[in-house]
């Protein structure tokens, strides 16, 4: 999984322009984020056609605000620049809940 600050371009249009992208909003102080973070490499590996990008909400607050991300951890899915789904709230998320979210996305094949 890539970190947003590792990417050359950090604007939403560039990040999500091509293919399938999943933004994973997190923060170092967030206990629910720390709960799911160890599962993220496995989830990333299970969905090789999705580009997962971890976004530190505190470092990229303007992007979080632009997308209405108030609770974390949160996930926003894109395909070819268009948002196709979001799993956004302040609740703890399990690996199964995230996989269910991904499996029910309206990604074009």
Nearest one of 59, 46, 56, 78 to 2, comparing CA atoms? 56
| DSSP 8-state assignment for residue 90 | S
- Of 15, 30, 36, 72, the catalytic one is 30
Whether 30 is catalytic is: yes
Helices (H), 1-73: 12-16, 31-36, 40-46, 61-66
- Of 15, 22, 23, 33, the catalytic one is 33
Whether 106 is catalytic is: no
Q: Which residues are the active-site residues? A: 30, 33
């Amino acid at each position: 999984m890539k970190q947003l600050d590792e990417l050359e371009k950090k604007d939403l249009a560039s990040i999500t322009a091509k293919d399938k992208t999943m933004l994973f909003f997190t923060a170092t102080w967030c206990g629910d984020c720390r709960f799911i973070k160890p599962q993220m490499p496995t989830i990333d590996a299970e969905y090789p056609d999705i580009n997962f990008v971890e976004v530190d909400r505190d470092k990229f607050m303007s992007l979080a605000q632009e997308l209405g991300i108030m609770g974390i951890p949160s996930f926003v899915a894109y395909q070819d620049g268009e948002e196709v789904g979001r799993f956004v709230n302040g609740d703890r998320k399990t690996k199964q809940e995230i996989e269910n979210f991904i499996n029910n996305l309206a990604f074009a094949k």
